[in-house]
């Protein structure tokens, strides 16, 4: 125990430096300074959800009109974050970190959140891998003897800590007034990475850069900004060294994009259009509204009205304030076995990235190194030698508010195939997550927690509203249980891997009377 921090799991000798006493002192200081506000903001989320369920409308805030109408800019981008035309994402396992940094992308977002299963090993070993990557000492050797190491030129490293809602149950904090409460996963992830690497990154000409997930309000961004200011002052790091890109992946945040940039303005690097979580947020927020019933997930593209309005508004707001606008994920995984699947999928990736570059985005996300050249080609066509296109102000984009909640999907249908896909993907992803892998290759797509959330949320909503498939079948509990049994059997049954636990968790999520906010909360109890 150091300053009231107790580790509820063992740490191997080679990882002890990650949880050294001075590092634990630092994360304890973050906890005592900010965890009370974090809990208040989480309570505010629940209160707002209840008001929306009772009929309150979402809209731009009257009380922050002066921010939206004011004349201000975010801090200028550091040199190694000025050109972000292709960003690759993935978990923090050792081989992935090396391959991503070597991928040819401009940025690697090392993910401690949706693409990471928060086993204790992953949480602590991920910090070690990032520590070694910053110092360029990271190595990995395959069983066949092949060795991986960093190239001379690598991507700029950004880290995504867990969201405000997630605890780290292996770490408890105790005081005279508090008896062993779990520390916030967000403060733990941020605190360890910043403590170990901030000075080293600055010495090497970079800085401590982050992606911030799941924000629902500018007040949550204000909390992060205060955390940044506190951390920099405590460790003697110059103010403004931290830069944060916010994932606009909740429908609440879409109405406060400008205010979020304002709160972070000394530390802001831009916004990212987190498309999968955004769809999940729309379902979750308006789950009780029959007019917000979305069709099969595959039909909810970036060109449907509410997604188109949100993404274009993001570009306008970011460029108005001098920030980067980063596009969404291309989740396709190239296959060596099926050239026809590759050709079709790559054509769609080209189309998606061409649209983003044409809309004014400064960069985009991919999930696989094989897609880096595809995305780069489309952004090179528009950017040329320019590092970004912030000069494109997109004043032609006019979004008054209703466009962001226009959930019509022209020609959209709910199908049996869509039902089966949702069940199968959710089962496979939860099984993978329980096994310690948070980024799972399923049907040539890289699935993470966000896409699994869409799958289980749609199942809940379709059952709740008594949806009927295009084939004429009512979507009810019996239909779900029958399809779930079929899909489970196809995957090998409950005795295979952890599919039995995955089925239990999915049943609890889909058949619950009350919507469970995040699948990772009940599933966390099943992890080692």
Number of domains in the chain: 2
Catalytic residue among 84, 85, 128, 160: 160
Percent of the chain with pLDDT over 70: 99
Indicate if 360 and 417 belong to the same structural domain: no
Indicate if 132 and 272 belong to the same structural domain: yes
Structural domain of residue 465, as residue ranges?
A: 413-524
Question: Are 239 and 266 contacting, i.e. CB atoms less than 8 angstroms apart?
Answer: yes
Mean pLDDT of 243-271: 98
Indicate if 132 and 232 belong to the same structural domain: yes
Indicate if 204 and 329 belong to the same structural domain: yes
Measure the N-to-C terminal CA separation of the chain; round to a whole number of Å.
Answer: 21
Mean pLDDT of 2-30: 93
Indicate if 386 and 419 belong to the same structural domain: no
Residue where a domain terminates, one of 336, 369, 403: 403
Whether 456 is catalytic is no
pLDDT digits (tens, 9 = 90+) for 192-237: 999 999 999 999 999 999 999 999 999 999 999 999 999 999 999 9
Structural domain contains residue 118:
yes
Q: What is the pLDDT of residue 177?
A: 67
Residue where a domain terminates, one of 373, 403, 433: 403
Structural domain contains residue 408:
no
How far apart (Å, rounded) are the C-alpha atoms in residues 189 and 199?
17
Q: Kindly give the interhelix angle for 218-235 and 185-203, rounded to the nearest 10 degrees.
A: 50
Structural domain contains residue 116:
yes
Indicate if 241 and 357 belong to the same structural domain: yes
Structural domain contains residue 205:
yes
Structural domain contains residue 427:
yes
pTM of the model: 0.96
Indicate if 84 and 125 belong to the same structural domain: yes
DSSP 336-393: SS-HHHHHHHHHHHHHHHHHHHHHT-SEEEESSGGGHHHHHHHHHHHHTT-S--TT--
Catalytic residue among 352, 448, 484, 498: 448
Residue 180: CA atoms inside 13 Å, Cβ hemisphere, count?
6
> Mean pLDDT for the chain?
95
Question: Are 84 and 324 contacting, i.e. CB atoms less than 8 angstroms apart?
Answer: yes
Question: Are 477 and 511 contacting, i.e. CB atoms less than 8 angstroms apart?
Answer: yes
Indicate if 420 and 397 belong to the same structural domain: no
Indicate if 452 and 329 belong to the same structural domain: no
Helix, strand, or coil (residue 67)? helix
Which residues, 6+ apart, have CB-to-CB distance to 100 below 8 Å?
88, 89, 90, 108, 110, 155, 369
Indicate if 128 and 265 belong to the same structural domain: yes
Residue where a domain terminates, one of 364, 385, 403: 403
Sequence length of the chain is: 528
Nearest of 231, 240, 220 to residue 190 by alpha carbon: 231
Question: Are 215 and 250 contacting, i.e. CB atoms less than 8 angstroms apart?
Answer: yes
Indicate if 96 and 199 belong to the same structural domain: yes
Indicate if 360 and 420 belong to the same structural domain: no
Whether 448 is catalytic is yes
Higher-scoring residue by pLDDT: 302, 444: 302
SS3 content of the chain, % helix, strand, coil (to 5): 50, 15, 35
| CATH number for the domain harbouring residue 445 | 1.20.1220.12
């Amino acid at each position: 125990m150091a300053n009231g921090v107790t580790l509820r799991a063992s740490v191997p000798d080679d990882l002890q430096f990650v949880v050294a006493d001075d590092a634990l002192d630092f994360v304890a200081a973050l906890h005592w300074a900010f965890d009370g506000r974090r809990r208040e903001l989480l309570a505010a989320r629940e209160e707002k959800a209840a008001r929306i369920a009772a009929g309150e409308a979402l809209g731009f805030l009257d009380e922050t009109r002066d921010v939206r109408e004011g004349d201000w800019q975010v801090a200028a981008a550091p040199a190694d974050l000025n050109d972000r035309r292709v960003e690759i994402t993935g978990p923090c396992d050792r081989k992935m970190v090396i391959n991503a940094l070597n991928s040819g992308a401009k940025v690697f977002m090392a993910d401690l959140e949706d693409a990471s299963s928060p086993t204790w090993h992953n949480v602590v070993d991920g910090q070690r891998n990032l520590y070694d990557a910053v110092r360029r000492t990271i190595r990995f050797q395959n069983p066949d003897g092949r060795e991986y190491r960093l190239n001379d030129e690598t991507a700029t490293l950004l880290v995504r800590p867990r969201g405000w809602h997630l605890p780290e149950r292996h770490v408890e904090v105790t005081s005279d007034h508090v008896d062993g409460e779990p520390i916030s996963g967000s403060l733990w992830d941020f605190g360890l990475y910043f403590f170990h690497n901030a000075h080293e990154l600055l010495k090497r000409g970079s800085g401590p850069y982050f992606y911030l997930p799941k924000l629902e309000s500018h007040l949550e961004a204000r909390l992060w900004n205060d955390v940044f200011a506190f951390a920099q002052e405590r460790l003697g790091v110059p103010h403004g060294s931290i830069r944060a890109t916010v994932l606009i992946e909740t429908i609440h945040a879409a109405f406060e994009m400008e205010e979020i940039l304002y709160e972070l303005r000394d530390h802001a690097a831009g916004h990212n259009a987190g498309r999968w979580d955004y769809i999940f947020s729309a379902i979750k927020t308006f789950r009780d509204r029959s007019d917000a019933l979305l069709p099969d997930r595959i039909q909810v593209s970036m060109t449907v009205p509410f997604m188109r309005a949100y993404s274009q508004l993001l570009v306008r707001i970011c460029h108005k304030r001098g920030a980067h606008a980063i596009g969404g994920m291309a989740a396709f995984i190239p296959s060596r076995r099926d050239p026809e699947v590759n050709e079709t999928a790559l054509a769609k990736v080209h189309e998606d990235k061409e649209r983003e570059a044409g809309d004014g985005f400064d960069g985009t996300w991919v999930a696989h190194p094989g897609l880096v050249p595809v995305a780069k080609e489309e952004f090179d066509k528009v950017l040329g030698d320019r590092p970004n296109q912030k000069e494109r102000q997109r004043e032609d984009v006019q979004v008054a508010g209703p466009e962001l909640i226009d959930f019509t999907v022209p020609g959209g249908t709910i199908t049996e195939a869509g039902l089966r896909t949702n069940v199968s993907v959710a089962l496979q992803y939860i099984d993978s997550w329980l096994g310690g892998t948070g980024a799972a290759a399923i049907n040539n797509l890289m699935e993470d927690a966000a896409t699994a959330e869409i799958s289980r949320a749609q199942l809940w909503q379709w059952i709740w509203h008594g949806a009927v498939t295009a084939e004429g079948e009512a979507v009810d509990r019996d239909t779900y249980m029958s399809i779930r049994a079929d899909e489970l059997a196809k995957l090998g049954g409950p005795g295979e891997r952890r599919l039995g636990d995955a089925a239990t968790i999915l049943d609890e999520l889909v058949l619950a009377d009350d919507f469970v906010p995040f699948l990772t909360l009940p599933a966390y109890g099943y992890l080692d």
